[in-house]
Structure 1
Amino acid sequence: MPSSVPSKIRKKIEWFFHRAEGAFLSDAVLAAEGAHLEPKEARARLADSGEHLQAMDLVGRFEQLERALDGDAEKRRAYVGQYGAAGVQCFRAGTETRIYCLAVETFPRHVNNVYVVLEPGSALMLDCGSDLPSSRRDLALGFAVMRDLFREDVRQEALDWCVISHAHYDHFGGSNAVKRETRAHLAVHELDARVLSCFDERLVVVSKDIDVYLRRAGIADDARAVMLGLYTAHKTLFKPVQVDRVLRDGDQIGPGYRVHHVPGHCPGLICLQVHDVLLTSDHVLARITPHQFPQAITPFAGLEHYFHSLAKIRKLEGINYALGGHEEPIWDLRARIDAMANFHRQRLARVLEVCDAPRTVLGVAEALFGHQEGYGFLLAIEEAGAHVEYLHDLGKLRIANLDEVATSRDPVIEYVAR
């Protein structure tokens, strides 16, 4: 989709498609799991969105949807085979493996891709959403769609494995429900296992570390309090959960799916190789570059680890395409990795430019991203901080107010290009 189309518009149009496709479902499923879809209303909203459909190159999809809704079973099968339905799409890996992508609203207007990987004798789910009401709703709908439209004999409670790609709440928040309501064994990389099993400890310690970092970045006391409140929102609902298996780089899980450890965006982030398809989670995404934050807050984060992890995945052989934790499929994985690495190099160059005079991390964030509010403010500080940290570690930035830092108990640090 063209980058000129605002993200909010893209998400709204995709949501209209998912809702309109609810008309393909049986009356029983639509009443039980899909009552919120209201397909007729969504179809009308799409019909009134001609300008946006054209800008997003979705006119052809809409016309095919119209023909499928008004046509016979063959037209419906063709549409569902190409685009999926109601937020569920089927992909193929190897000879017998089906990978179902379930679009799950984990936070308001924030959609994750949860993957259900099926082959004879195996049912594995990658990630489990946030456990917020919208997340539970969309997971239940996704499994119902797999049974109703794709004729899969699969139920959430009968999964063999739930693999957590990394310990960010939109990906693992539903693991309490997984342990409580299903027979699935829970697996996560060893660097993120403690987040799940000692979550109350993790939340306290990381909140303290973030507070220290924000203070040094130049954030005032009242703003820090607001940002920390946003960071902990919803997370206090999570209870520590026992992990059944810790994963390491090169491990295999299920019927031979290989684990690739890719720290950077998160310490324990993994990609899962399912035969000739790579599930990249938040390591590589189709349109945006995944959020980066400083290693000063969490070890094994930071741009140095991220660049190494990108190079590692770029070298993989035998991958036909990739499926990310958000957004669309990635048909040319290496080209997308090159584009993301180049994006960060350009951002690093921009940070050097704005640090021609002493700047705090807050000042760098404002220069890069302009005025931000709410959670976006915290994300901007962390993203700017990751780039400042990388340049400082390379010796391309130095601390401009070193005497003040040496004598102050709670210093605000300023950086300047060498």
Structure 2
Amino acid sequence: MTEIARSLPGQQPTGRLPADGGAGAPPPAELSYPIPETPDFARTLAIAPGILWLRMPLPRNLALDHINLWLIEESDGWTVVDTGIGTAETREVWEQVFAGPMGGRPIRRLLATHYHPDHMGSAGWLCDRFGITLDATLTDWLLARSLSLTSDADYVRGALPFYRSAGADDGLLGMVAQAGNPYAKSVGQVPLQVRRLQHGQTLTLGGRAWHVIVGEGHAPELATLWCPAEKLLISADQILPKISPNISVWSSEPEADNLALYLASMSRFQALPPDTLVLPSHGRPFIGLHRRLEALAGHHRDRLDQTLAACERPATAADLVKVLFRRPLDRHTVFFALGEALAHLNHLWAGGQLVRETDASGVTRFRRA
């Protein structure tokens, strides 16, 4: 176990992703949860006429044990939003859903909100099974295609200097070299074709109009879906009720200011009505959208203050992890923590509040301007 991947005293490594995937969850705002029940895996619960909530299990090495998928009844079958991770276990659950809640009726349309494996991992299998084309944003589909086709060797060749620059020690760098490309191991074949989703587009799903609102930061071009008739927002991972979406910087774009993108795109949801029922990918459907938006913005303001204070002396991203995280980190979670630390450092650097210097060994340190 490496230095920054050690548990805090008296605690054991969880082997799971931190609940928020990032630098601590903000305190839950005053939200209401109007649906008291939670469906069992492979079972559904009606959210509105013809709109079903399906919970799909996730692998045990992840902090979150489920992803919420959404089934919308059509006259000749179903529209499905998101797919579950690309594993045999997920396919077994889908077989139960096909025979059970879906009543043997086919999937006619499949939407993936973004490229992450729990959302797009089974897309290729579902598209092949039902002879359909995937709906997704072009950026996230292209990224999924690229990552799924990247060899272990090429992934490691890009990742090692990135994590070395972040201040990772030899133990973490060894993990990167050994693990190879983690994305390709969590998805099946990404579909070869896509039907593009764009911000502002209107779709007809289940006889209702749904408007695409694109969020950024958590993923490059994440598609959420707003149904005015039912006051429903399928928010995917962009807005979650009790945990903060992971906002990270990754090796493919090391100077990205993804936090700026996230905060800016959240303004697109401010005009939605206060009684909107938010359907998140993790956790329970809730009312209190605007309170949640403010809580998430406040969370990142607090983290930026902590980051700036920590950089009174030169600090690497690995140094900042120890400041921002007060929970166990293991060999899986530490990479999300590093990515989140870099997101906050890059945001302050882009805004001129930090300067950065890279030494002869390739390690980058940030300090207050």
Kindly indicate whether residue 164 of structure 2 is the aligned counterpart of residue 215 of structure 1: yes
Number of residue pairs matched by the alignment? 323
Between the aligned partners of 2:168 and 2:112, the Cα distance in structure 1 is: 33
Residue in structure 2 matched with residue 293 of structure 1 by the alignment: 248
Paired residue secondary structure (1:194): helix
For the pair shown, the structure with the greater C-alpha radius of gyration is 1
Residue in structure 2 matched with residue 100 of structure 1 by the alignment: 52
CA contact (8 A) 1:265 1:283 kept: yes
Between the aligned partners of 1:382 and 1:197, the Cα distance in structure 2 is: 22
**Offset at residue 319 of structure 1 (A):** 6.1
**Offset at residue 386 of structure 1 (A):** 0.5
**Offset at residue 83 of structure 1 (A):** 1.6
Residue in structure 2 matched with residue 414 of structure 1 by the alignment: 365
**Offset at residue 214 of structure 1 (A):** 0.9
TM norm structure 2: 0.79
The percent identity for this pair of structures is 20
**Offset at residue 348 of structure 1 (A):** 0.9
Residue in structure 2 matched with residue 5 of structure 1 by the alignment: none
Residue in structure 1 matched with residue 135 of structure 2 by the alignment: 187
Between the aligned partners of 1:99 and 1:120, the Cα distance in structure 2 is: 13
Bigger helix share: 1
Kindly indicate whether residue 207 of structure 2 is the aligned counterpart of residue 253 of structure 1: no
Paired residue secondary structure (1:123): strand
Alignment of 1:164-313 (within 5 A): 164-202=112-150, 207-227=156-176, 229-230=178-179, 232-233=181-182, 235-236=184-185, 238-255=188-205, 256-275=209-228, 276-294=231-249, 297-298=252-253, 302-313=258-269
Residue in structure 1 matched with residue 294 of structure 2 by the alignment: 338
In structure 1, runs of 5+ residues without a counterpart are 1-7, 9-80, 148-152
Alignment of 1:2-401 (within 5 A): 83=37, 85-87=39-41, 88-93=43-48, 97-108=49-60, 110-120=65-75, 123-146=78-101, 153=103, 155=105, 158-202=106-150, 207-227=156-176, 229-230=178-179, 232-233=181-182, 235-236=184-185, 238-255=188-205, 256-275=209-228, 276-294=231-249, 297-298=252-253, 302-317=258-273, 320-370=276-326, 372-399=329-356
CA contact (8 A) 1:130 1:172 kept: yes
Change (3 A) 1:240 1:270: closer
Between the aligned partners of 1:357 and 1:131, the Cα distance in structure 2 is: 44
Paired residue secondary structure (1:356): coil
Identify which range, 207-216 or 347-356, moves more after superposition: 207-216
CA contact (8 A) 1:284 1:290 kept: yes
Paired residue secondary structure (1:249): coil
Between the aligned partners of 2:292 and 2:108, the Cα distance in structure 1 is: 32
CA contact (8 A) 1:206 1:297 kept: no
Q: CA RMSD in A?
A: 2.7
Between the aligned partners of 1:336 and 1:315, the Cα distance in structure 2 is: 14
The one-letter code matched in structure 2 to 1:279 is: I
The one-letter code matched in structure 2 to 1:167 is: Y
The one-letter code matched in structure 2 to 1:337 is: L
**Offset at residue 154 of structure 1 (A):** 5.3
Bigger RCO of structures 1 and 2 (CA < 8 A, at least 6 apart): 2
Between the aligned partners of 2:100 and 2:257, the Cα distance in structure 1 is: 37
In structure 2, runs of 5+ residues without a counterpart are 1-13, 15-34
Change (3 A) 1:228 1:187: farther
Between the aligned partners of 2:170 and 2:156, the Cα distance in structure 1 is: 14
CA contact (8 A) 1:295 1:301 kept: no
Change (3 A) 1:234 1:168: closer
Paired residue secondary structure (2:287): coil
**Offset at residue 144 of structure 1 (A):** 4.3
The one-letter code matched in structure 1 to 2:211 is: R
**Offset at residue 201 of structure 1 (A):** 4.2
Change (3 A) 1:272 1:231: farther
Between the aligned partners of 2:287 and 2:274, the Cα distance in structure 1 is: 13
